[in-house]
Amino acid sequence: MHPRLAEDREELPKLLRDVQRHAASLLASLDERDVVPSPPVPPPTPLPARGVGLKATLEEFAERWEPTLSASAGPRYLGFVTGGATPAALAGDWLTSTWDLNAFSSLDGAGQHLERETITWLRGLFGLSDRHHGTFVSGATMSTTVGLATAREWLGERKGVSPAEDGVGALGPVRVLSGAAHSSVSKALSVLGVGRTALVPVDTLPGREAVDIAALERALREHQADGPCLVIANAGTVNTADFDDVLAICALRERYDFWLHVDAAFGAFAALSPDHAHLVDGLDAADSVCVDLHKWLNVPYDSAVQFTRRRDLQTAVFQNAAAYLGPLGDTPDTAHLTPENSHRLRAIAAWFTLRAYGRDGHREIVERSIACARTLGDAVDAMPELRLLAPVHLNVACFTLAEEPTAERLTALTDLLAAEVFLTPTVLDGVPALRAAFSNWRTDEPDIHRIITALQKALHKLQPS
């Protein structure tokens, strides 16, 4: 064995304690660290011929790279929709790597059973019935890709062909209807060979990102002659956390034949708050549902779930026949359910946080995020220099400058804020804007006051263009 490897094996308990101490001090520094630090990224160095062992590697990482990394695990990183990692989720994730299981086959171990138990708990959290089967994947984009791959096979079933066997060309034109679809939908359609231009944007309600049901019905009628469509409903849009009326979309099925995929990447968590649960009424009736866990469940990257009522079609697409793998059977191995074969047992982190904090703990996180978004929204509304662009429906506040809301001035504003808070730019209805998304369990009211103060100071410094 290489001497460095042998040494590290010998010293492993001590080395892991060093890493643990380092991790704990890092977490303790999250409040004070610059949210987006300014040091330049270190220049690349060539791969060293000789290894230095774990201890020196940790020191080099801490010195060269850590000063440049964003405090996205901390409470004031409000870009994208970026959750943190609860203590239990972090511990579960450490143990996932420690066990280093490949939970893709029933030929060994109970890993897949742990994943199934976690799926059952998650279904309960989101109000999904046991007609929905779930599988862990790496993110909402992958979840939507799997959901739409299953939908593609359903279109084939309706037309008496199998795209999985004969290729997507067997389908003819495909129409995918959605109001304010997330960008990941186009990516999924590209990967699936359906093509980005298959996405037909449907009008949203005035001043909203929620689909106009009458416009959706018109689009369904217009494309009826080409055969069934795919409809993607949005439960939580990224700009304003708006929700389509899923029940009304479901009602259209009485007259039109379509597959309903719901992108509930973070919006599914509305189900945890009694005051907001109505936003996801009808979710269970969807044919496939995408939910991210690395956002509002606060487990580390990368973790999401794909739910579908048609696991038979899912396996038609993803089955991986090999002599050494088990047969499909009634409960297919994960190798038959997703694009990957090898399968990180990422369910452990979700299992840990659900067990440690329960429904009530996760409800508290969700409700606190919503309260924080409201407080910031109210403060923005009260500042003459800013304009709130939509009511705070859930956990996102979307706003812009009252005067000269150009992308350049917004970038200047976020640059001034970088140490204290991270916001991401967007464009809403043609207007450049910023969004603050709340989904980290650490974020609390004192953070919002700090953010409001930082905003006021930055606005004071901001120059006219």
Ligand X SMILES: *Cc1c(COP(=O)(O)O)cnc(C)c1O
Q: Which residues of the shown chain bind ligand X in the complex (CB under 6 A)? A: 81, 139-141, 182, 184, 236, 238, 263, 265-266, 292, 304
Tell me the H-state helices in 319-404.
Answer: 347-382
- In angstroms, give the least distance from the CB of 184 to ligand X: 4
Minimal distance, residue 238 CB to ligand X, in Å: 5
Of the two residues 147 and 156, which places its CB atom closer to ligand X in the complex?
147
Helix 140-159 × helix 183-191 angle, to 10°:
50
Residue in the block written with tokens 């991986």 = 320
To 10 degrees, the CA torsion angle through 334, 335, 338, 344?
70
Asked if residue 230 lies in contact with residue 258, where contact means CB atoms within 8 angstroms, the answer is yes
User: Nearest approach, Cβ of 135 to ligand X (angstroms)?
Assistant: 15
Bridge-based pairing of strands 386-388 and 396-401 is antiparallel
Q: Which is nearer to ligand X, 105 or 303 (CB)?
A: 303
Pick between residue 122 and residue 379 the one whose CB is nearest to ligand X: 122
Q: How far apart are CB 285 and ligand X at their closest, in Å? A: 19
Dihedral of alpha carbons 277, 295, 459, 405, sign = negative
Is 337 in contact with 346 (CB distance < 8 Å)? no
Q: Which residue has the tokens 């487990």?
A: 299
Q: How far is the CB of 383 from ligand X (least distance, A)?
A: 27
Q: Which is nearer to ligand X, 372 or 379 (CB)?
A: 372
Burial class (CB in 10 A: 0-12, 13-18, 19+), 172: exposed
Nearer Cβ to ligand X, position 270 or 462? Answer: 270
- Which one, 86 or 184, has the nearer CB to ligand X? 184
At closest approach, how far in Å is the CB of 447 from ligand X?
21
Rounded distance between C-alpha atoms, residue 247 and residue 210, angstroms: 13
- Judged by beta carbon, residue 106 or residue 353, the one nearer ligand X is 353
Contact 353, 295 (CB under 8 A): no
